[in-house]
Amino acid sequence: MSSQLSTQSAGPQSFWLAGVRATGDEQSAVTGPDGLEVASVSIPTRDQVEQAVAALDAARAPAQLLTLGQRADALAHVAARLLERQDEFAAVITAENGKPIKWARVEVTRAASVFRWAAEEARRWSGDVQRLDTEKAADGRLALVKRVPKGPVLGIAPFNFPLNLVAHKVAPAIAVGAPILIKPAPATPLSALLLGELLAETELPAGMWSVLPVPNDRMSDLVADPRLPIISFTGSAPVGYSIREAVPGKHVVLELGGNAAAVVLSDFGATADLDWAAERIALFANYQAGQSCISVQRVLVDRPIYEDVVARVVGHVENLATGDASDPLTEVGPLVDENAARRVCDWIEEAVDAGAKLLTGGARDGATVSPAVLVDVPENAKVWCEEVFGPVVVLAPVDGADGAIEAVNDSRFGLQTGVFTKDTRTAFRFFSELNVGGVIIGDVPSYRADQMPYGGVKESGVGREGVAYAMTDFTEERVMVLTGLTL
């Protein structure tokens, strides 16, 4: 596997300091979910981190002066090269993350799509024109409004999508001409470092980007650095909120956790429709071993069809191929490490001890947990009210749309919800009354198109991803008024 992880010779992976390979004085092992070392990465010194930030600061003007075509060409190059090297990137994701290879390949194509969308959005990044002669005092005046970067971006990425969620930070930054420093998750730095090879092939200004695997315990200075006025963080709520509290004067974008619900109403249709819904629920509760903020966790089923849907979900869960992540047929692989797997099993056991029924799954083999289905779960159990981030799905009956809306909203989180209904009026009611960032009608909450606004409310975060929306988040308006014109 090591030959697929880098084009470098044997030894610790170098990082990218101001667009150039560099090594530090220390190194850290990267292990797969089985605990075996996959590779080692070089850790930047404090002086090297300072060099990277200084380079970003110096690159502000050159980056902003890039033409839209230059930005778009760089982004399109990365998109094309990701597809050319798809198998290599997928192998890296599987090795460091444990994601089944079929889903790792999907992640690479999605990352390519993010860069491709960013290239297209960059070409349209033209601002607005406003006639001001709506009042006599403004006769002959015209306003040109453009958006300019707020400054360099500190992008902090998580382990569960080690390539695509890096792409969601890097691509919008390049599109608006903002320098960016990416800090990958300590468990999964290899995908981001490999992406650096593609960025290095472009003609982006020196110093505009860095990829630094900085240990978490050394991040406080970076977070506080005034030269990094934007922080884009994806990860857990406690860490995200601690960042926002530490730097109240900065623009902080937080993509945090979820407790995604899927609602199945009686109007969804015949037996075949319910079976399809159950199949989608089973797959997308477990497809990343549950390690996705919009994995299906709670399933709220209209009471008349509850027993039928439970039986169907259990059947489809038991048919999921679980095991070796390198097998192209595997749908459910290991969690990121054994500690995560132990925690998930502890939460299942706590729920059962409190009266829940475990209908299938819940056994642990190393870092792999067999997909679990629970019913009769108390509402104060962690598997119901917290984010499990593991292959666990909980089902409960509700009384129609009223009960479902109440149950979905009774959560600290509000990311996305899926609603299986065929009634248009019901769909619009859920859209209006659910306190979440996104409502997916006729499918699971796990759907995400990388160009749409993605984010949540309550403890699910602040701000939105999605290329055009992140571009807006990273920038602010600047106005020029022209006078004495004939309009």
Q: What is the DSSP string of 15-63?
A: EEETTEEE--SEEEEEE-TTS-EEEEEEEPPHHHHHHHHHHHHHTHHHH
Q: Is residue 255 annotated as part of the catalytic site, yes or no?
A: yes
Strand partners, 439: 417
Q: Are strands 128-131 and 142-149 parallel, antiparallel or unpaired?
A: antiparallel
Closest CA to 121 of 67, 167, 66, 176: 176
Which of 293, 331, 459, 465 is the catalytic position?
293
**Residue corresponding to tokens 């760089």:** 74
- Please give the single-letter amino acid code of residue 61: A
**Residue corresponding to tokens 């994995």:** 295
**What is the rounded CA–CA span in Å between residue 173 and residue 152?**
8
Q: What is the DSSP string of 208-224?
A: SEEE----GGG-HHHHH
Burial (CB count <10 Å: 0-12, 13-18, 19+), residue 251: middle
Which of 107, 255, 387, 465 is the catalytic position?
255
Closest CA to 191 of 88, 79, 40: 88
As given in the structure block, the two tokens for residue 214 are: 């900085």
Closest CA to 481 of 221, 239, 146: 146
Positive or negative, the CA dihedral 463, 466, 469, 471 is: positive
**What is the rounded CA–CA span in Å between residue 450 and residue 379?**
33
Q: Are 366 and 355 in contact (CB under 8 A)?
A: no
Q: Is residue 345 annotated as part of the catalytic site, yes or no?
A: no
Q: Are 178 and 232 in contact (CB under 8 A)?
A: no
The Cα-based distances of 69 to 12, 19, 73, 175 in angstroms read: 36, 20, 6, 10
User: What's the farthest any 2 CA atoms get from each other in the chain?
Assistant: 78
Give the catalytic positions in this structure: 255, 293
